[in-house]
Each structure stands twice: as C-alpha cells, then as structure tokens.
Amino acid sequence: MSDHPRKIIHCDCDCFFAAVEIRDNPELRALPVAIGGSSDRRGVISTCNYVARKFGIRSAMNSAKALQLCPDLIILPGNMDKYREASVKINRIFEDYTDLVEPLSLDEAFLDVSESNACHGSATLIAEEIRARVRKEVGITISAGVAPNKFVAKVASDWNKPDGLCVVTPEKVDAFVKQLPIERIFGVGKVTAGKLHAMGILNCGDLRDFELPVLTERFGRFGSRLHQLCRGIDDRPVQISRIHKSVSIEHTYPIDLLGVENCLDQLPELLEQLHRRLRRYLEKDSGYKIKGRFAKVRFNDFTTTTIENQLQEGELKQYQVLIRQGHARGEKPVRLLGIGVRLDVDDQQAPEQLTLFT
C-alpha cells in the first residue's frame, strides 16, 4: 500500500427490504410501506420506506404502534431469500472494483478502493458508477460516502440519503467532523450521550476540548476512541474476512408457551432454522468448529436468561437440557426462545465438527 490517504467507500442501500418489495410492486412506490410482523402477533417493524418515516415510523417499532401513527401503513411480511439474492448481486458489483469488501449486513458494506484502477482511480467516480449499476441491475437505490477512513465514510453515506453521495476529501475531514453531533459517533448511545451532554459536549468540536486522560478516566477505553474519532482519526482497515463468534436464531411466539414441555416442542423447528443459517456461514468459510451451545429464554414479563454449555452429548439433547435449565430459572409463561452456537476457528477440525449440518 502507498503512503497516500486511503480511499474508503461506505455503501448503504436505501430502505433495503422495503425497496426490494417496491421494486417488485411499483404500485407501492407512493404509499407508506413497512416490512415487519403482524400487529396482532407482537410484530415489530424491521424497516420502512421514506413515505412511512414521515409519520414517525422507524425500525424496531411495535407494528401496532406503527399502525396507530399511520393507519394506511402497508406492512409486508418480507422475503429473506429475495433480499439475499439482491444482496449477492450488489456485492458482485462491489467486487468488480476491489477485492477489499467488508460486508456489514445484507444492505451495507465498506470498500477500500485505494489501489483500484477503475474509473481512473477516482473513488468518487467509482461510487457514482456503483450507484448507477445498482439502480440499473438490481432496481433499487443505494447511497454512498467517500472518505479517507471508515468512520467518516459511514457518516457521509447517511448525509444525503436517500439516493445520495457525499464525498469528504482529506483536507475537508477536520471541518466535516468538527460540526458532527456526538450522537454520530459509533458507540455513543443514549447513556453515553447523556454523560457527554452533562459535560457540555454537544458536538465533536466540543469534545476536542477535553484531553485524553479526562476522557479515559470518565469513559474507560472508549474514551480513547472518542478522542480519536472526534478528530476524524480512524485507522481501522477494511476487513475482507469477518470472524463470527456465534450464530443464533430466535423466535417470538404470538401466544405465550405454557410449561417447559411446550418449549421443548419448539426445538425441532428452531434447530432447522439454525442449521439453515449455519450452512450459509459454512458456504463462505469452512474453517469453523462449534465450541459450545447456548439457549435464550424470555418470559412474559420480559425477563431474559441465557444458558450455555460445552457438553459432548447429542445436539438435540444439549438444547433440551439448556431449555429446561433456562425455564427453571423463571417458571413463567415464555414469550421468546432462542438457540445458537459459539464458534471457534480451526481449519483442520472444522469440517469434521460440522458434518451434522449436511
């Protein structure tokens, strides 16, 4: 790599799930549309289009609440296979410009185009071409941010949404970051934002007035991160291989499960879903082995417990033991069940360890 500033692009699809549905049914384009669960089955909104957002609807909102805000809201159940297919097409477009692609989810990714010869080496032109190709070949819009590092690129991709492009050149990073609200810093949630506001810190410029020792004293290791990011410093490379520490699935039931036996009856269905998800990971990287299993039980009062073990017994028996242990901690009606595996990387042992998923 050269000593010149890196060229990072963060691409983020606009209302991805909803956009794919509207692509396939253009009559929905001017209507408020959301993807989520049924309002009478404790459903939640996973995403919605910008028409719906004008009513105050947002991700993770209860579907019943969303319908109160917008009675005409069209809530679709979603189709993950269709969304994955669109995601694969988009990632193939990314890979035409660089091998350094770090997917963050189905609908967003970082690209390092520092050494790319495409578009005469211009990150801006690459981003524009990617956006045009996604619109033409996939049928949806995607926003992009171009900057010398991941932090600024990710903020920039949200700057002109939807269907926008924001370019922050190296000489503009300082001014761009200085005026950012501290909530724009990744990792600053409501609690941290409240502490920063109490210190009189509203934006990154305010944050720069505090020395590193003060920030580390008040925020621990995150204080060092705050000190760097408020100055637009982010040395993280684009990671082309993300190591997953766990894979899990969970399900919220429309009617509470009464008794542990009813919980155990759900295991075959949960296991089938978990196997499908694990296969997708193995298709990308076979260098994983299972080092433990865990289960999650959420009761009807929203208290939640997680149990795990490293037993060598049969898979189904392990989860039966875990569910029984978890249920015994509350012995109340169960609202949600989840199961998963802890993963470790071991190229030689992984194929043998995971043969049960064939």
Q: Are residues 51 and 87 in the same domain?
A: no
pLDDT of residue 278: 79
Same domain, 74 and 42: yes
Q: Which residues contact 272 (CB under 8 A, 6 or more apart)?
A: none
**What does the pLDDT look like over 128-161, one tens digit per residue?**
999 999 999 999 999 999 999 999 999 999 999 9
Active-site residue (options: 21, 102, 108, 315):
108
Same domain, 135 and 185: no
Would the pLDDT of 207 be above 60? yes
> Residue 184 has what DSSP assignment?
G
Residue range of the domain that includes 53: 16-80
Are both 292 and 325 inside the same structural domain? Answer: yes
108 catalytic? Reply is yes
90 and 166 both lie in a single domain: yes
Query: Which of 108-122, 181-195, 259-273, 280-294 is the least confident region?
Result: 280-294
Q: Which of 188-202, 225-239, 244-258 shows the lowest per-residue confidence on average (mean pLDDT)?
A: 244-258
> What's the distance, CA 287 to chain centroid?
23
First to last CA, the chain: 41
In a domain, 220, yes or no: yes
CATH of the domain at 220: 1.10.150.20
Q: Could you tell me if 78 and 84 are in contact, meaning their C-beta atoms sit under 8 angstroms apart?
A: no
Tokens of 218: 């008040």
Number of compact structural domains in the chain: 4
The enclosing domain of 156 has a CATH number of 3.30.70.270
200 pLDDT above the threshold of 50: yes
Residue 241, in any domain of the structure: no
Average per-residue pLDDT for the chain: 87
- Confidence category of residue 69, pLDDT binned at 50, 70, 90: very high
Residue 347: pLDDT over 50: no
174 among the known binding-site residues?
A: no
Query: How far, in Å, CA of 104 to CA of 199, rounded?
Result: 33
pLDDT (tens digit per residue) in 23-50: 999 999 999 999 987 766 667 898 999 9
Is 99 labelled a binding residue? no
With H, G, I as helix, E, B as strand and everything else as coil, classify residue 291.
strand
Instruction: Concatenate the DSSP letters of all residues of 309-331 into one string.
Output: E---S-HHHHHHHHHHHHHHTT-
**What is the mean predicted confidence (pLDDT) over 277-282?**
69
Tell me how far apart the alpha carbons of residues 298 and 336 are, in angstroms, rounded to a whole number: 5
